[in-house]
Structure 1
Amino acid sequence: MVRRGARRTIGSNMAGLVEELLSPDLTDDFEVVHSTFQPHSRITDSVIRPTQEVGYLVSGQLEVEIEGTTHLLTPGDSFRVRGEAFRWANPFDTPAVAIWVIAPPVY
């Protein structure tokens, strides 16, 4: 059990991204992460990692580029990345919130 106020902040807070661990710990074969993408934030370099990841957009809008194709996500949309190059951007005026499931854990 992880209460809302007890989530552990993970990652580096880079580029306007705030990540909190929803999983109780990192001992499972996957991790669940609550990600908040601040307005006008982005990563410029693509990320490639040996994982399978599924993201679900809870609120806001988010651009996700996978293997050179950019997708505009709106609330309720989801996507999957399986070791492909990806990056994200929130060029909008409001935060975007997503839930990610990542296997194996990267943090």
Structure 2
Amino acid sequence: MSDLASPTARTLQGPGERVLAGDIRALRRVRGLTLAEIALKLGRSVGWVSQVERGLSTPSLSDLRAFAELFGVPISLFFSHDVPVESERGVVVRAGKRRTLGTSESGLVEELLSPDLGGTFEMVRSVFAPGAELKNEARRPTEEAGYIASGQFDIEIAGVWHRLGEGDSFRFEGKPYRWRNPGSEPAVVIWVVSPPVY
């Protein structure tokens, strides 16, 4: 059976589904992958992947799981694309309509403040639970900045720890980092990453 004849394939119609198509395209591009590489990894045709990215086909739930695993993102990133006003699509994110990533069990819950994953940066509202920490160093080929909206937040950048409080901010590029919340209240950080990594 061809990809086009698959019962899970259908034509995209709503603005939220067009955002999904753009997000998949942005994730592929930021990871430097070609359509052929994605198709090979997913066991699909190049034409099908291209149709998904152009909003001509909607991937099934199992396809979305495969995309999430391939890109290393939570599957929740592909949901909650509700855009009630067409003129706001790609421009405005309403407080009650943010896409949530992570779980309270992980100690970090993030909300995507950017309207989609296109563009040259992403903005995320990160809520770090008391005692939560990133134990192992992370390093990304990105420029990152953050603003502490509330709580206490420790960040180690290139081996140096910095204790930050409400109103403080930071920036670094391509350096190893770790973080922790040393306080007894959640720490809320507005985090900007360029290029987008979700």
Do Structure 1 and Structure 2 share a fold, with TM-score over 0.5?
A: yes
CA shift for structure 1 position 15? 3.7
CA shift for structure 1 position 9? 1.4
2:168: which partner in 1? 77
Q: RCO (CA 8 Å, sep 6+): is it higher in 1 or 2?
A: 1
2:156: which partner in 1? 65
Q: Does 1:45 align with 2:132?
A: no
What is the rounded CA distance, in whole Å, between the counterparts of 2:98 and 2:158 in structure 1? 32
The structure number with the bigger radius of gyration is: 2
2:185: which partner in 1? 94
Which aligned runs of 4 or more in structure 1 are off by greater than 2 angstroms? 12-15
- TM-score for both structures, normalised by structure 2: 0.52
Pairwise CA RMSD: 1.1
What is the rounded CA distance, in whole Å, between the counterparts of 1:75 and 1:100 in structure 2? 14
2:109: which partner in 1? 18
Secondary structure of the structure 1 residue equivalent to 2:96: helix
What is the rounded CA distance, in whole Å, between the counterparts of 2:93 and 2:156 in structure 1? 31
Unpaired stretches in structure 1, ≥5 consecutive residues: none
The structure with the greater share of residues assigned to strand is 1
What is the rounded CA distance, in whole Å, between the counterparts of 2:95 and 2:137 in structure 1? 30
CA shift for structure 1 position 91? 2.1
CA shift for structure 1 position 92? 1.4
Unpaired stretches in structure 2, ≥5 consecutive residues: 1-91
CA shift for structure 1 position 17? 0.7
2:125: which partner in 1? 34
Secondary structure of the structure 1 residue equivalent to 2:136: coil
Q: Does 1:103 align with 2:194?
A: yes
2:73: which partner in 1? none
Equivalent residue pairs, number: 106
Contact 1:34 1:97 in 2 (8 A): yes
- TM-score for both structures, normalised by structure 1: 0.95
CA displacement, residues 6-52 of structure 1 (integer Å, 9 cap, x when unaligned): 00013x44740111100000011100000000011001001100000
